[in-house]
Amino acid sequence: MLASEKRRGTPFFLRIATMRWLAVLVFLSFGTACFAQELPQRMTTAALPAEYEPHWVWVDDIAFGHMMDGRAYLVDADSEKFLGTLSTGGFFKKLELPTNTPEIYAAATFYTRVNRGERTDVVTVFDRQTLSPVDEIVIPPKRMTGAPTIAHSALTDDQRFMLVANLTPAQSVSVVDMQERKFVGEIATPGCTLVFPTGPRRFMSFCGDGSLLTVNLDAEGNDARQARSEPFFDPWQDPVSVKGVRVNDQWLFVSFDSQVHAVDIAGEEPRFLPTWSLLTDKDRRDSWRTGGIQMLAVHEKRGLLFTLMHRGGIETHKDPGNRVWVYDLATRERIRKIKLKGAATSIQVTQDDDPLLLAAFIGMPKLTVYDPDTGEHLRSISQLGSTITILQTN
């Protein structure tokens, strides 16, 4: 169908935009209307609907070779259509995708001379329909940089405050009020790092002794109360990876030895559920292990956990994998093994009733799409920048 759509001259997604959501199409006219008849073809600028399709995916590109020019690509994992680009800026990690406002947020770092000069860190607000930057909030030039995770920044569950992890190497969190469009303040989190939202006005950070720091914000976004848990693992024995995934009121993390640590965040204090292993004894003998950049994904409604697997020693805990194993979170049973078409460092699953499994390898500018039920490779979307890291669905 796409091919025939294409031939009629108007791209599929543009027609969707106009027909289904009556989205704004920004027409750049030629000065005055009287030129219109002289110019048979109008030049326009495309726009997107306020509500995205569930199979539209943000593909985050840190542009490792040119890290001050990060980008995110919006692609339709069904039609393979490339929908648009966000130029997100330096040291790009991930987008924040609020559901209560047609906006997208991204923290970024800029220098007056690209790689040198004066540093400025900002949160940029993009319009979800036009993909244009519409506002920015300057934050302290302290953002934590390096390999991206989903926890380098976050929105509180009420979507009011954006949290940005800092490391200078002193550890802290910048709080930005996205409603008032202002920087609220910096919360010191000594010995603890990254931001995992755990409630309307609450987040937690990972500490070096294997504990979690919970920070409660007041109505204005200030640090109201901090509480530190008991250590729930030994970081020198079997470190828990920070590359976790949230499923409802739990955060799931996996240790280097593929032990699942589930943290219940329903209450004021995190509760640590009994650990369980992704591996059988035979898996362990065969050296199976989780690895990658974004190595866990969940389908919330179905209660499924997807893990990116490879074989290797402890020092391969960040290596790509070409297997995805699927677990039923209720029974903790492995229900499926999927063989990917190639190595992947990131996996993601769309959250709709007819989900897609998505995979990407940082060394290959391509998104691959699978059926999560059968493991069948459905399609690939290529020419996506240079170094794909986090995959984000709506």
Partner 1 sequence: MKLLDRWVETRTRRVAQRTSRRHFVGRLGVLLLGGSVLPLLPVARATAAPDDGLPDEATLPGKTGDPTNCNYWRHCAIDGFPCACCGGSETACPPGTELSAVTWIGTCRNPGNNKDYIISYNDCCGKSPCGRCMCFRAEGDKPVYLPPKSNDINWCQGTNSNIYHCTISVVIGEAGSG
Give the residues lining the site for its own copies (CB under 8 A): 63, 65-66, 68-69, 87, 89-90, 108, 110, 112-116, 120, 122, 124, 133, 136, 385-386
Burial class (CB in 10 A: 0-12, 13-18, 19+), 209: middle
- Nearer of residues 146 and 267 to partner 1, judged by Cβ: 146
Burial class (CB in 10 A: 0-12, 13-18, 19+), 280: exposed
What minimum distance in Å lies between the beta carbon of 109 and its own copies? Answer: 10
Q: What angle do CA 79, 2, 95 make, to 5 degrees?
A: 30
Subset of residues 95 to 114 that bind partner 1, contact rule: CB under 8 A: 109, 111-114
Upper half-sphere CA count for residue 116 (Cβ side, 13 Å): 0
What minimum distance in Å lies between the beta carbon of 94 and its own copies? Answer: 18
* Contact of residue 194 among its own copies, partner 1, none (CB under 5-8 Å per partner type): partner 1
Helix, strand or coil, per DSSP, at residue 353: coil
Does 77 interact with partner 1 (rule: CB under 8 A)?
A: no
Rounded to 10 degrees, the C-alpha dihedral 178/352/390/160 comes to 10
- Nearer of residues 90 and 372 to partner 1, judged by Cβ: 90
Subset of residues 334 to 393 that bind partner 1, contact rule: CB under 8 A: 383, 385
* DSSP type of residue 65: G
Among 59, 194, 298, 329, which residue sits at the site for partner 1 (rule: CB under 8 A)? 194
Give the distance between the most distant pair of CA atoms in the chain: 77
Helix, strand or coil, per DSSP, at residue 259: strand
Is the backbone peptide bond immediately before 274 cis, with ω within 30 degrees of 0?
A: no
Among 21, 51, 68, 264, which residue sits at the site for partner 1 (rule: CB under 8 A)? 68
Q: Applying CB under 8 A, which part among 43-51, 195-203, 334-342, 371-379 lies near partner 1?
A: 43-51
What minimum distance in Å lies between the beta carbon of 131 and partner 1? Answer: 3
Q: Applying CB under 8 A, which part among 140-148, 262-270, 336-344, 349-357 lies near partner 1?
A: 140-148
* Contact of residue 331 among partner 1, its own copies, none (CB under 5-8 Å per partner type): none
- Nearer of residues 169 and 274 to partner 1, judged by Cβ: 169
Does 74 interact with partner 1 (rule: CB under 8 A)?
A: yes
Record the tokens describing residue 334, joined without a space. Answer: 């492995």
Binding marks (x or -) toward partner 1, 220..259, rule CB under 8 A? Answer: ---------------x---xxxx-----------------
Single-letter residue type at 310: H
What minimum distance in Å lies between the beta carbon of 151 and partner 1? Answer: 9
* DSSP type of residue 66: G
Q: Applying CB under 8 A, which part among 127-135, 156-164, 325-333, 349-357 lies near partner 1?
A: 127-135
Q: Applying CB under 8 A, which part among 84-92, 267-275, 336-344, 368-376 lies near partner 1?
A: 84-92
328 touches 335 (CB < 8 A):
yes
Binding marks (x or -) toward partner 1, 161..180, rule CB under 8 A? Answer: ------xxxxx---------
Burial class (CB in 10 A: 0-12, 13-18, 19+), 205: buried
Instruction: Determine phi and psi for 2, rounding to 5 degrees.
Output: -60, -40
219 touches 269 (CB < 8 A):
no
The answer to whether the Cα torsion of 175, 180, 183, 187 is positive or negative is: negative
